[in-house]
Structure 1
Amino acid sequence: MKSKLLIALFAAVGIATSVYAAPTTYTADANHTFAQFEYNHLGFSNQTSRFNNVTGTVTIDQAAKKGSADITIDTKSVDTGSTVFNSHIQSEDFLSTTQFPTATFQSNDIIFKGDKPVELKGVLTLKGVSKPVTLKVSNFECKKHPMTGADYCGANAVTKVKRTEFNMGKYAPNVGDDVTITIAIEAAKKE
């Protein structure tokens, strides 16, 4: 009788472990996922703008401490707070959104510290140029959404790039070459 109980217990633990170990894919919530960028303008101020349309998925296997991310940014959704400046940023001198309507970040290398991802190493493609970048992750959390009850994960991730390396060097160095890119993501478990 004891041996049957032990076998049943180990089987239950095995099933629970295999469910926990499975990779889980989360789809970005369009209402709570944005990318913003910040740069210095003529030494006067740090300007912050954002992209309003960001889509993508993140897959996390917390047991194996692995994961991947595939993020797409609609560059035509740039929002500087000024209609005139939005057009300027979308021009060939900068984002060239007619030719390159999207920017992407793809990663198959998520670095964990303990149970939480702390870095995403991947490739940023912007204006047709692909470069390796590392996004530093903060504020990572997975739990039931308090309003919908769905399984959700969220995080913030940040990296710095040089715009001259992506063929967007007009007015450098007067307009800062260093650009900080921040992505805020909230994503629902894919059913």
Structure 2
Amino acid sequence: MNLSIKTLKRTIAITAVSSLGMLSVLGHSAIYELDPSHTAARFTVDHFGTSTNAGGFYGLTGMIDYQPEAQKGFVGITIPMGSLSTGIKGFDKHLKSADFFDVAKYPTAYFKSTSWQFDGEEVQTVKGDLTLHGQTHPITLTATKFNCYDSPVLETQVCGGDFETTIDRTKWGLTTYTDGGMMKDIKLVIQVEASLKDGNS
């Protein structure tokens, strides 16, 4: 294909402007690495209409791409199912069994966001896909708080917050005892903190 000098110069100019625009967007992108010691997924579930059982998953890993100026964000989280703890060893064993989470077959769960909703620069909700027990379904996490600060311990910026949602466990094939009066709804509370990785700003 033959291009005139004028057309060639115009093409180069457009490409350069587009590249600068892309660099500008990327320049405002900040990548944060999740801190497993301050990131957890906790749950509560009704116990046959009597008390409420609680437990959590710990040692979560992943990353956050946080762009408040552009009102964009991304979070990817890996949940080690074997970390489940309720404080009661027998109950932990039962929940890890094939009756519930079947940890031997499904040792890991994942959450990957698809969109973030902001009010100004304030995070409101995070929508995404939760892969659990071999199945993937969308969920919406509501932020009860989200903030960034300069950590005096880590000597870098840290961002994080608390998020919550309620899911129907039967959508992920967790149906044990639902026909015996144990509720299918599970409340999740996600605690997330992530530190700015070197070389990002």
TM bucket (normalised to shorter chain) is 0.7 to 0.9
Q: Note closer, same or farther for the CA distance 1:21–1:114 as it changes in structure 2 (3 Å cut).
A: farther
Q: After TM superposition, list the pairs within 5 Å mapping 1:37-186 onto structure 2.
A: 37-173=43-179, 174-186=181-193
- Report the AA paired with residue 189 of structure 1: L
Say what the alpha-carbon RMSD is for the aligned residues: 1.5
Larger radius of gyration: 2
- Report the AA paired with residue 85 of structure 1: F
The one-character-per-residue Cα deviations of 1:74-97 (angstroms, maximum 9, x if unpaired) are 011100111111110011111111
Q: Which runs of 5+ in 1 are unaligned?
A: 1-17
The match for 1:187 among 175, 178, 194 is 194
User: Which residue number in structure 2 is paired with residue 3 of structure 1?
Assistant: none
- TM-score normalised by length of structure 1: 0.87
Cα contact 2:168–2:185 (8 A) shared by 1: yes
**CA-CA distance at 1:19 after TM superposition:** 8.8
Cα contact 2:60–2:78 (8 A) shared by 1: yes
Cα contact 1:124–1:133 (8 A) shared by 2: yes
- Report the AA paired with residue 185 of structure 1: V
**CA-CA distance at 1:114 after TM superposition:** 1.1
Q: Note closer, same or farther for the CA distance 1:20–1:146 as it changes in structure 2 (3 Å cut).
A: farther
Q: What SS is found at the alignment partner of 2:92?
A: helix
The one-character-per-residue Cα deviations of 1:51-103 (angstroms, maximum 9, x if unpaired) are 12211111111111001110111011100111111110011111111111011
User: Which residue number in structure 1 is paired with residue 3 of structure 2?
Assistant: none
Task: State how far apart, in whole Å, the 2-side matches of 1:151 and 1:158 are.
Answer: 24
Q: Which runs of 4+ in 1 moved over 3 A?
A: 18-21
Q: Is 70-79 or 108-117 further displaced after alignment? A: 108-117
Q: Which runs of 5+ in 2 are unaligned?
A: 1-23
Task: State how far apart, in whole Å, the 2-side matches of 1:121 and 1:180 are.
Answer: 16
- Report the AA paired with residue 30 of structure 2: T
Cα contact 2:127–2:141 (8 A) shared by 1: yes
Task: State how far apart, in whole Å, the 2-side matches of 1:92 and 1:148 are.
Answer: 40
- Report the AA paired with residue 187 of structure 2: T
Q: What SS is found at the alignment partner of 1:88?
A: helix
User: Which residue number in structure 1 is paired with residue 15 of structure 2?
Assistant: none
Cα contact 2:114–2:129 (8 A) shared by 1: no
User: Which residue number in structure 1 is paired with residue 5 of structure 2?
Assistant: none
**CA-CA distance at 1:109 after TM superposition:** 0.5
